[in-house]
Amino acid sequence: MAPALGPRPLPNVLLASLIPVAVWFVIRPLLDPPPPLPALHTSVGFSIFAFLAALYLVPALGPSFVKANLKGRDLLKVYSDPIPESQGLICAAIYILLLILFIPFPFSNSIANLPTKGTHLEGLLGAASLHHELSVYLSSLLSLLMATLLGFLDDVFDIRWRHKLPIPLIAAIPLLMVYHAEGGNTHVVVPIPLRPLFGVLLNLGPLYYLYMALLSTFTTNSINILAGINGSEVSQALIIGISVILNDLLYLPWPIDFRIPLHLLGSQAEVDVGGPWRAGMAYGSSQLVSRHLFSLYFMLPLVGVCLGFMYHNWYPARAFPGDTLCYVTGMAFSVVGIQGHFSKTLLLFFIPQIFNFVLSCPQIFGLVPCPRHRVPRFDPDTNLLHPSTAQFSQPPSKLTTLILRVFASLRLTKLKFHPSNGAIVEATNLTILNFLLVNLGPMNEKELVQTLMAVQVSEDGDVVGFWINYEIRSQVVY
């Protein structure tokens, strides 16, 4: 019953040495003198525990998943051993449980107020807004937990592809309800080029709620549809999570002062990021600091579980994430984007996913036939992946032909034509994975996921640079 493909061995001694480090970070806020950002220390400690828990629990619970019929075979391998599926559930459980256990650290008066005994740092959360923040934190947890439950239901009931697109909307309801109950701000900062038209701040009213709901649907589904090869879902989540963390760190009050050499990015100005009294790029705004701290509390343990899970999901995968992982990570990004009020920055980190989504549209909306799986085709003789294709049983409509011809001229797809009437008979499936294979030639699964990761890293790196550049110009009004 157990898969012949055993779990990947773990360097136990090396990992055991992480436990005291994690414990130190967790209890650091309780030691005197307290650090300037006490709860952030605990969050780092919890994230190390999240990493270790995912690393050990994923293989340990594998056989139970296989026994409960939560298993699948790897479509791109020569063997057909059953591999535990939906193990993102373990990651989600660790993640949410740690976030719940974390509650007293930033929100309990006895712990959270410690730093005010000693030096009071500007730009830090005061006790007054703790109650409000706690509601927001709890509503985020509710949304994450709903996403987990819905993702797992999706895995168990195997809901059809197109039917499940709106499911994340349900998980976003707690966010929206509490946002409303707390007298939520529905103003957005207008991007500089549009300010002559709309002014600096625009009240979107109910449209803002629609935007938040759609954001969570997008972040969830966009990770889910960029799936299919070992490590693709979890590596995206990992890279986006790290990008958000890097962006958050820029807004914290650092004990040291440092300048980002923006002239390397072609800008005249330089940005002063450090210094406790400037609160980083937050420029002393306690609201900005607390928003980005909030984001860090959610992103650090997420990166922890993703890293632990990736060890087992890496090529050749010993564990599959299932929809559960995509749902919970997608919702986590929405949560920080919405509650941290940086959803536009967040979307910039999703450019590869947006590209994949736009590319997929003709198949999602039924213009091009959509096979059940759009993963690349595996050639067992060479161990290489080739672009998979969608077949046209009858000549496509004029609209479809036009779209596919445009896509083909942009090298987004490769077409095959009927030898006599010239109609399209075959197109490579419209996903970023097939797009990479069409343009870079066949490669093996490991190379493909590495290429995908490289695309995501370089894009997200550019965004951080671009965003810093942009932020300093609009800082005045933010």
Distance CA 148, CA 142 (A): 10
276's CB contacts (< 8 A; 6+ apart) are 36, 121, 122, 123, 253, 254, 255
How far are the Cα atoms of 234, 313, 449 from residue 230, in angstroms, in the given order? 9, 6, 7
Least separation in angstroms between residue 152's CB and its own copies is: 8
Which tokens is 120 given?
A: 């009071």
Which positions from 319 through 338 interact with its own copies, judged by CB under 8 A?
A: none
Among the candidate windows 154-162, 265-273, 278-286, 408-416, which touches its own copies by CB under 8 A? Answer: 154-162
Least separation in angstroms between residue 176's CB and its own copies is: 9
Task: Decide if residue 134 touches its own copies (CB under 8 A).
Answer: yes
Task: Decide if residue 408 touches its own copies (CB under 8 A).
Answer: no
Q: Looking at beta carbons only, is 72 or 284 nearer to its own copies? A: 72
Task: Decide if residue 139 touches its own copies (CB under 8 A).
Answer: yes
Site string for its own copies, 167-186 (x = CB under 8 A): ---x--xx--xx-xxxx---
Q: Looking at beta carbons only, is 66 or 239 nearer to its own copies? A: 66
The closest alpha carbon to 52, from 29, 83, 21, belongs to 21
Task: Decide if residue 30 touches its own copies (CB under 8 A).
Answer: no
Identify the H or E element spanning 106. Answer: helix 104-107
Q: Looking at beta carbons only, is 139 or 232 nearer to its own copies? A: 139
Distance CA 226, CA 424 (A): 25
How far are the Cα atoms of 200, 281, 285, 473 from residue 476, in angstroms, in the given order? 11, 11, 11, 7
Would you give the end-to-end CA distance of the chain in angstroms? 58
Task: Decide if residue 127 touches its own copies (CB under 8 A).
Answer: no
Distance CA 346, CA 336 (A): 9
Which positions from 42 through 101 interact with its own copies, judged by CB under 8 A?
A: 64, 67-70, 97, 100-101
Task: Decide if residue 160 touches its own copies (CB under 8 A).
Answer: no
b/e map 341-358, b = 16+ CB within 10 Å? bbbebbbbbbebbebbbe
Q: Looking at beta carbons only, is 108 or 203 nearer to its own copies? A: 108
Are the CB atoms for 215 and 338 separated by under 8 Å? yes
Among the candidate windows 146-154, 342-350, 368-376, 416-424, which touches its own copies by CB under 8 A? Answer: 146-154
Q: Looking at beta carbons only, is 105 or 309 nearer to its own copies? A: 105
Binding site for its own copies (CB under 8 A): 64, 67-70, 97, 100-101, 103-104, 107-109, 131-132, 134-135, 138-139, 141-142, 145-146, 148-149, 152, 156-158, 170, 173-174, 177-178, 180-183
